[in-house]
Amino acid sequence: MVSIGRPTNAEALPAAAQIDALRQSSGNVTALKLNEIMADNGGVVLDPSNVTGGRDDWFEVYNPTSESIDLQGLYVTDSLIDLTKHQITESLTISPGGYLVFWADDEPFQGPNHVLFKFKNEGEALALVDSDGATIIDSHVFGQQIKDISEGRLPDGDGEWVKLSKPSPGQPNQIIP
């Protein structure tokens, strides 16, 4: 067997073993939940990475477990046909009971939580996909969006998707009267 980049007497590391080792140290990714989205951001939530005023759309992933979970290797997509649209290639860890905000701005050069797609405010889908590129961990299909109103789960992680007049990226969802 030829192994490029290794001495000829070195053993090649099987890819499956590397993936298993990563998965063992990264927690139960199948427990992760899409928790909130904003697909028509008029400026109520600003992207701190965008120096030109960042009114980017965003979504939030929630970790309902009691262990930290690393998202490296997972995919996120706005298409239920192209499940591998954007792979998370760097280590992004969500602490137990924590949240991670992603910016749907088609500008991944801004950082590891910026994805290769933008939302359509007329509605579409969002999916979190396992590292195999085929298994959907969680998804949400949404319709026409209202400017500066997010959609989120109440309670966090497993409740119904509802309109939220006060977006709460990185924080628990709540309805404000």
User: Where along the chain do its domains lie?
Assistant: 15-158
Question: Between these two residues, 3 and 162, which has the higher pLDDT value?
Answer: 162
Structure confidence at residue 26 (pLDDT): 66
Going by CATH, does the domain composed of 15-158 fall within 2.60.40.1260? yes
Structure confidence at residue 53 (pLDDT): 63
Task: Determine the average pLDDT of the residues in 111-121.
Answer: 95
Average pLDDT score over the chain:
86
Task: Determine the average pLDDT of the residues in 125-147.
Answer: 98
Contact 28, 63 (CB under 8 A): no
Structure confidence at residue 50 (pLDDT): 67
Burial of 130 (0-12, 13-18, 19+ CB in 10 A): middle
Structure confidence at residue 30 (pLDDT): 96
Rounded to two decimals, the pTM is 0.84
